Amino acid sequence: MKKKVLVTRKLLRSNEERASKLWDAKLNLNDEVYSQQKIIELSQGCDGILSSLTEKIDEKVINSLPPSVKIISNFAVGFGNIDHQAAKKRNIIVTNTPDVLTDATAEIAMLLILGACRRAKEGMEFARKENWKWSADFLIGKQLTGSRLGILGMGRIGRALAKIAKSFGMEIHYRNRSRLSPEIENGAKFHESIKSLFSVSDVLSICCPATKETKNIVNKETLEYFPTGAIITNVARGDMIEDEAMVEALANRKIYAIGLDVYKGEPKINSGYLNQSTAFILPHLGSATKKTRTAMADLAISNIDEFFNTGKCKNTIN
């Protein structure tokens, strides 16, 4: 008898076809965002769940899942939506999809840097209005060549971004939980503290995981560390930035511009950003290429398949 798996969001067709061949898959054909209660109800009789970041699978949900559920495979590199410690107590394996979205997310990180530095939002607004006039000082932005890029979190995405940014002539600085080996650093300069990194960052890219330590790491106090006129971008998680302090810093020009692909309360956003002409904002597009989304779902499926076949999974996070 085939294993039964709840797939909480609609996947690309090829991924759904593969899941249906492997298991008795409960697909979400209408791509409804399931409530916590709906997840509990639909998981009855299931052996596993293929979830996404849109579902909050907290301790309450974990403890309400049927005993048959033995694995939750998250369709994301992050797993902040799942209480993996609560899952561990119930002997439920939690997995994620690392590696496969590195390049796509690094590309978006570079897009945010370029969009914020070169005033892309304002430029598009002028183009739509068809009333702009060229002049020597029209929409002058900041050039990347020779500028210092601070990368907060030099993991896979941070290192991929560093490689791209170097081709633009940027000088790479970074802060990580531990210093990288010289060959992996590839000329990047390590900083022992947040203050040290922020103080040299003409541009900052936030690429680190969301943890208790990194929540609101960019705040009223730490914004003062930056050079006046710095640019801040974020492809990690919205929790990293204290929005009110950031909006104030943009308004008083301490921070020149911001580029966000992630933010608190998605899809809602702090209205203060919408009033700032130098806020370049995208709707969480980091992994949004067909190649990457297909690979992510394939890995999430493979994680479950590996577990069902061997009782183990190499991408386990708990």
Is there a catalytic annotation at residue 148? no
Give the active site residue among 18, 237, 293, 306.
237
Tokens of 143: 């050039």
Burial of residue 177 (number of CB atoms within 10 Å: 0-12, 13-18, 19+): exposed
Q: 237 catalytic, yes or no?
A: yes
Measured in residues, the chain has a length of 318
266 counts as catalytic: yes
Task: Tell me whether strands 4-7 and 48-51 are parallel, antiparallel or unpaired.
Answer: parallel
Residue 50 makes CB contacts below 8 A (sequence gap 6+) with 5, 6, 7, 8, 19, 73, 75, 300, 301, 304
- Taking CA atoms, 201 is separated from 156, 188, 241, in Å, by 20, 13, 16
Residues taking part in catalysis: 237, 266, 284
